[in-house]
Amino acid sequence: MGPTRDTVKALRRSNIFNVTKTNGQKALTDTTSDFAIVDRSELGSAFDGKIRVLDYTIEEVRTCRPLLLALGLKSKHLSELVEETTTVRDGQVNNLLTRAFRQKAYAIFR
């Protein structure tokens, strides 16, 4: 269950990926086609109907991740394609709040 580039080489040009087009129609395509892989729900919502996407749920993308990576599709994941930036005008850094936030984040993610 650990596919490598060599073991999936024959699949690269096979039309095995169901892609939803911007008009809602679906088509089978191969890895060289232009499409994105929705790997985060908020990005999927933001680009819904605006770009061609792989017709997999986020759970299916996570389950198939080893295969998608072996096929060299990491660069098609929306989390790889989108750069999120945040700006604040006239903001001030509050070191106490920042430290408290980091402590809670650490506790949640450890």
Q: Does the pLDDT at position 3 exceed 80?
A: yes
80 vs 24: CA distance, rounded Å: 24
How many secondary structure helices (H) and strands (E) does the chain include? 5, 3
Radius of gyration of the chain (CA): 19
Q: In which residue are the tokens 């005008």 written?
A: 89
Give the mean model confidence (pLDDT) for residues 58-70: 95
Q: Please spell the DSSP secondary structure of 17-66, one letter per residue.
A: EEEE-TTS-EEEE-TTSS-BB--SHHHHHHHTTTS-EES--HHHHHHTHH
Q: How many structural domains are present in the chain?
A: 1
Domain of residue 50 covers 1-82
Q: Does the pLDDT at position 72 exceed 80?
A: yes
User: 108 in a domain, yes or no?
Assistant: no
CB-based contacts of 53: which residues, under 8 Å, 6+ apart?
19, 20, 35, 36, 37, 38, 44, 47
User: 30 in a domain, yes or no?
Assistant: yes
User: 19 in a domain, yes or no?
Assistant: yes
Contact call for residues 103 and 97 (beta carbons, < 8 A):
no
User: 23 in a domain, yes or no?
Assistant: yes
Task: Give the tens place of pLDDT for each residue, 31-52.
Answer: 999 999 999 999 999 999 999 9
User: 42 in a domain, yes or no?
Assistant: yes
User: 28 in a domain, yes or no?
Assistant: yes
